[in-house]
Amino acid sequence: MGSGKFRVVTRGVDGELRIRDYDSEQDLMKRHTQIGVDDCSTDLKLRGLPVFRGLIGPMPEGQNVIRYESPEVFESLTKEWSSLKTPRRARTRPPAARPEGLAR
């Protein structure tokens, strides 16, 4: 993800999400303190990217955005995501045929 944007999502005092985009890793590093590098992400494109104090990430957001979130935003969005109900699909498979000679 070399040419992507970096996005930091936090929550403002009023409770609204605040999203700040950075055009480069260097711009992001001017505002946040790096404490390490990601070396265990399952998304190999994220490995080697910086880890910042007070932020959770990096995580992919679409094709060209690398996202970091404050712990509070991460927790609230994860709760919202996990509580969403997916609609159940009706079973479309016909009932199994009974072998001949068996009574109902």
Q: What is the pLDDT of residues 53-74, one digit of tens each?
A: 999 999 999 889 999 999 999 9
Residue 54 lies in a domain: yes
In b/e form, how buried is each residue of 62-73, taking b as 16+ CB within 10 angstroms? eeeebbbbbeeb
DSSP string over 17-75:
EEEEEESSHHHHHHHS-EEEE----SSGGGTT-EEETT-EEEEEETTTEEEEE-HHHHH
Task: Compute the Cα dihedral for 78, 80, 83, 85 and give only its sign.
Answer: negative
Span 77-92, mean pLDDT?
Answer: 76
Q: 56 in a domain, yes or no?
A: yes
How confident is the model over 49-54, as a mean pLDDT? 96
Task: Give me the sheet containing 17-22, strands edge to edge.
Answer: 17-22, 5-11, 65-69, 56-61
Q: Total structural domains in the chain?
A: 1
pLDDT for 103 equals: 62
Average pLDDT, the chain: 87
pTM: predicted TM-score of the whole model, two decimal places: 0.73
Residue 99 domain flag: no
Give residue 33's domain range: 5-81
- Confidence grade of residue 81 (pLDDT, cut at 50, 70, 90): confident
In a domain, 89, yes or no: no
30 in any annotated domain: yes
99, pLDDT greater than 90: no
